[in-house]
Amino acid sequence: MDASDFDFAPAHALGALVRSGEVSPVALMERSVARIGELNPLLNAFVEVDEEGALREAEALAKRIEQGEEVGQFAGLPLGVKDLENAAGFTTTKGSRLYRDNRVDFDDVLVERLKQAGAIVVGKTNTPEFGHIPFTDNDLFGPTLNPWNLERTPGGSSGGSAAALASGMVPLATASDGGGSIRIPACYTGLYGLKPSHGRVPIAPRPMPSWLSLSVYGPLTRCVHDAALYLDVVAGPDPADPESLPAPGLSYVAALEEPLPKLRIAFNETLGVTRVQRDVLREVRAALDAFAAMGHEIVETSDTIPEMGGWWARVSAFQSLGLEWDNYSTRHDEFTERYVRQLDRALDAGPEDFQEFLRRRGELVAWTTRVFDEFDLLLTPALPTEAFGPSGPIPSEIEGEPANGIAYTYPFNFTGHPAASVPAGLTDAGLPCGLQIVGPRHRDDLVLQASYALEQARPFPALPGSGASILERRQQP
């Protein structure tokens, strides 16, 4: 293989080539760090890179392979770690000036399991401050740009990981989702992103575990097979995460090869809370037609869900304020103004607010229970628009009418259901858009199977090609 062939090869295929000895992990890492050096000054996907350390690890792995040692499924794969997550020897800044010097000496369980499978951490990827907005920009490192169009965001909060994957810098990166932070960047960059069931992947260690039960770790990848393999590697309980689920008792990769039964599928165009950009809806409906062509029953519904967006912001702000109270009370000026406004909202939250939040969350859970009593899957657009500007704002209107730019993702963080963004096609501006597939509780396998079936029937749009073509986008208006 020519080194340029590594750039967009599936992670599972690269791992197999490394294990067989056909591709050297050193050559793979050299190509990755060269591409980061070429493209990162433009895209700002990585905020820290350890080229020397990554190459040393690749050389050590090459010797182990030469000696006939067994190595993992992700052997030699360069790995980007989102800067909300911990990787030993790297700084976890959380996108905040407060943590600019927070170099850690431990791995999160997620990172540890990926490393045990052979992945090599090459660097940390950009995220908005504390991951609290759906585009990737912060005062410490600045905005990350979308490889499809340098005037657009790759989304957030896993936008650095998305830009790194979509531009071919690395074949593997971590991501997390507390309101859409895997699915939003997946949609905006033409990747596949799965928010697994809550607790499927441990979030640990943490000195103060979350109590809202919204955030999950999950795969953000260039194909569904890679996501299934990623989940095979990282899923399973850990005693440091009290909410982690038992081992799934199956292989998600093996599940992809099982025939998909005929399904009864609900499609809701707006969830009753937003409009949809016309060309986005065109592509989403084309993806929906692909399921109909497979023989599945499609039923259009018009339910209106309890709107949670404002309540998510108010109540999650209270949790965020608790986590950062020491800094808020002593180093207030080091937060960005945008995040201070978010934290300040918590100061006005009272028992009535919590009661209303809990009531609406209960209504939403009851609604999803009714949906999955009647249907096997729920489909919606992943997002109602194409990608917007690198520093916002989030779209608040579509075609002159009020809209909610991220309406479809966060409801399923409140309910805990597995939900994926699958590439659906390209808008008139040549930008990716996505279809969201939501599955019954704990049926991550079914969401992956349905995603894989759609990928086979309607192949994902090709990612932005060579480094030269991405660099040429600098000239686009």
| Active site positions, annotated | 82, 157, 181
Provide the Cα torsion 297, 459, 419, 157; round to 10°: -150
Q: Region of 192 please: left (phi>0), alpha (psi -120 to 50) or beta.
A: beta
Which tokens in the block code for residue 113?
């399991």
CA distance 410 to 336: 23
Helix (H/G/I), strand (E/B), else coil: 136: coil
- Could you read off the pLDDT tens digit of each residue along the chain, which spans 477 residues? 788 899 999 999 999 999 999 999 999 999 999 999 999 999 999 999 999 999 999 999 999 999 999 999 999 999 999 999 999 999 999 999 999 999 999 999 999 999 999 999 999 999 999 999 999 999 999 999 999 999 999 999 999 999 999 999 999 999 999 999 999 999 999 999 999 999 999 999 999 988 889 999 999 999 999 999 999 999 999 999 999 999 999 999 999 999 999 999 999 999 999 999 999 999 999 999 999 999 999 999 999 999 887 877 778 888 999 999 999 999 989 999 889 988 988 888 888 888 999 999 999 999 999 999 999 999 999 999 999 999 999 999 999 999 999 999 999 999 999 999 999 999 999 999 999 999 999 999 999 999 999 999 999 999 997 777 887 776 544
Phi–psi pair at 447, nearest 5 degrees: -60, -45
Strands 216-221 and 172-177: antiparallel
Using only C-alpha atoms, the chain has a radius of gyration, in whole angstroms, of: 21
pTM, rounded to two decimals: 0.97
CA distance 400 to 186: 26
Walk me through the domains of the chain, giving residue ranges and CATH numbers: 3-475 (3.90.1300.10)
Buried (b) or exposed (e) across 382-409, using 16+ Cβ within 10 A?
bbbbbbbebebeebeebeeeebbbbbbb
CA distance 371 to 422: 21
